[in-house]
Amino acid sequence: MKEIIHASPDLLAALGSMSDFKVAAAFGVRPYQVRDLRLLHHIPNVHAAISRSNFEWTPEADALLGTMPDTQLASLLGTSRAIVNSRRTLLKILAFVPPTFELLRKSSQRHPWSPEEDLLLGTDFDNIIADKLNLNHLQVTHRRYQLGVDPFRRSATIQWTEQMLDNLGEISDKDFAEYFEICVASVYLKRLLLSIPALNAIDPPSPPSIPTAVIDLLGIKADVELAKMFEISRWSIRVNRLLRGLAPAPQLPRANQIKWTAEQEAMLGTMSDRNLGNMIGVSSSSVKLRRELLQIKPYIPIQEPKWNALTLGALGRSEDRALAQIWHCEVAAVKHQRESLQIAEHHGPRRWLASELALLGTLSDPQTGKLIGISPAAVRNKRIEMKIKPLLSGKKFRWTKKRLALLGTMADERLAYRLKVTPNVISKQRIQLNIPVWTGHRGSWANPEAVAKLGTMPDPALAKLLGITASAVFYKRKMMGIPPCLTTRVSIET
């Protein structure tokens, strides 16, 4: 990860005035960079205060609690997930159980859950807890989802704060993971459990689709073995297994599995994983796993800088440390060359030439960076500091009759994604033509024939027929208590 070495005065002034995520979006930097810069200057963070009582609950709204994920209901009612969750907890209404894990009510009611047994949920895999309580593991999964308990994972337990939950889906999973210093898989799984769409997405996420035959073998055969047997990704299998709270099946030791010696471990990080793997006769991935297990940093080759007009011209205009980082060389090599040319050492921000400043905004930031020998981020920061707009694409967007006909038929964000432009381009054209904003599925349900089709076909098929989203069909069907079409049910052997 790279720090913001030279932050603009405007960026520094914005720190602490709004959330780190808004600052990052405004200045085109990464959220973790804003966080580190704010901490460096001892500026407190801005937390959005969430009120638990600023929403007027009606009997109709209360009736929807527990019929869908809290996140989806919050979006439907125009409030926050925390407010919905607080209200549902206050009324002692159990959380919504996804259809994938819905069990027959008879089987779940046979076992009266005690408070002591409820405390076991999420402390271990569902099938292991089921063995302890002499239950079917599906009953444990069902109860865990009713109480809103996350499935167990062997990695360190993440304490999800309200700030973290409120920002899920507001930024990319990668930026979220970097900012809160957790793994991307944990972010994705949490979004999946709370039905929170990804950044720039509209529909709630769904787990990767896998065959029913694979579902039946989850936790019985190893993930890697299932991936080879059915020719699907190991990630898809792992996500589905984790969502079902199943422990991984023990993997049989390979005949060629290496037993690491102290001498071999001492070589980790001293050369590339591939070269060390070739030397001791194992794969580079095996070397990488062992190195990461021992928390050893990867080997970064140090090379001699190529001295030419571009690199020589940079000496004395940036700190030696910054140049060594850009050129992937030792600081001593930069210092030696600078002193041999009797160039004075430079401290502080990079000294830009007038010819370099003239390039800002005339080319893309990566092109400018490549031309003058610095990173695109450094170019972007300098351009923002000088309030120079980025180079816009010379290809003008043409509004054809076909594209104009799509205005107002879907959300501006969805149409923007389809046409590969910004939402502002869509909304500006729609307003100019006096086309009302898309109001979702409200008009569709005014037609009795559309309502009569609920549950007669899969939700995605009906959504395509009506020209709306599958989640809109799902909401309406759940509100009316209509069961889904049998072809959409996931068969789970009880």
Across 52-61, 234-243, 472-481, which has the greatest mean pLDDT? 234-243
Cα gap 126→131, rounded to integer Å = 9
Across 118-127, 143-152, 255-264, which has the greatest mean pLDDT? 118-127
Bridge partner list, 18: 15
Question: How high is the pLDDT of residue 6?
Answer: 60
Six-digit token string for 31 = 């959220």
Percent share of the chain, pLDDT over 90: 1
- Structure confidence by residue, pLDDT tens digits, 26-36: 777 788 888 88
Q: What is the mean pLDDT of the chain?
A: 79
Question: How high is the pLDDT of residue 106?
Answer: 41
Q: How far is CA 329 from CA 266, 271, 300, in A?
A: 24, 16, 10
- Nearest CA to 413 out of 464, 458, 469, 364 is that of 469
Question: How high is the pLDDT of residue 99?
Answer: 62
Question: How high is the pLDDT of residue 486?
Answer: 60
Amino acid (1-letter code) at residue 323: L
Do residues 333 and 362 lie in contact, with contact meaning Cβ atoms separated by under 8 Å? Answer: no
Has residue 2 got a pLDDT over 60?
no
Q: How far is CA 319 from CA 110, 383, 404, in A?
A: 72, 20, 53
* Across 382-403, average pLDDT: 79
pLDDT band at residue 100 under the 50/70/90 scheme = low
Across 102-116, 240-254, 361-375, which has the greatest mean pLDDT? 361-375
- Structure confidence by residue, pLDDT tens digits, 185-237: 888 888 888 778 887 776 777 888 888 888 888 888 888 888 888 888 888 89
- Structure confidence by residue, pLDDT tens digits, 283-311: 888 888 888 888 888 887 767 788 888 88
pLDDT band at residue 5 under the 50/70/90 scheme = very low
pLDDT band at residue 101 under the 50/70/90 scheme = low
Six-digit token string for 256 = 């060629």
- Structure confidence by residue, pLDDT tens digits, 457-482: 887 778 777 766 666 677 678 777 78
Question: How high is the pLDDT of residue 439?
Answer: 61
pLDDT band at residue 53 under the 50/70/90 scheme = very low
Question: How high is the pLDDT of residue 105?
Answer: 41
Check residue 244 and give left, alpha or beta (phi > 0: left; psi -120 to 50: alpha). alpha
* Across 346-365, average pLDDT: 84
Question: How high is the pLDDT of residue 277?
Answer: 87
* Across 38-48, average pLDDT: 75
- Structure confidence by residue, pLDDT tens digits, 420-446: 776 778 888 888 888 887 765 555 676
Do residues 301 and 329 lie in contact, with contact meaning Cβ atoms separated by under 8 Å? Answer: no
Question: How high is the pLDDT of residue 251?
Answer: 60
Question: How high is the pLDDT of residue 446?
Answer: 66
Has residue 52 got a pLDDT over 50?
no
| Helix segments in 281-434, DSSP class H | 284-293, 309-314, 320-327, 331-340, 354-357, 365-372, 376-385, 401-404, 412-419, 423-432
Has residue 312 got a pLDDT over 80?
yes
* Across 43-54, average pLDDT: 58
Helix axes 470-479, 459-466, angle to 10 degrees: 110
pLDDT band at residue 152 under the 50/70/90 scheme = confident
pLDDT band at residue 493 under the 50/70/90 scheme = very low
Question: How high is the pLDDT of residue 488?
Answer: 37
Six-digit token string for 456 = 């007669």
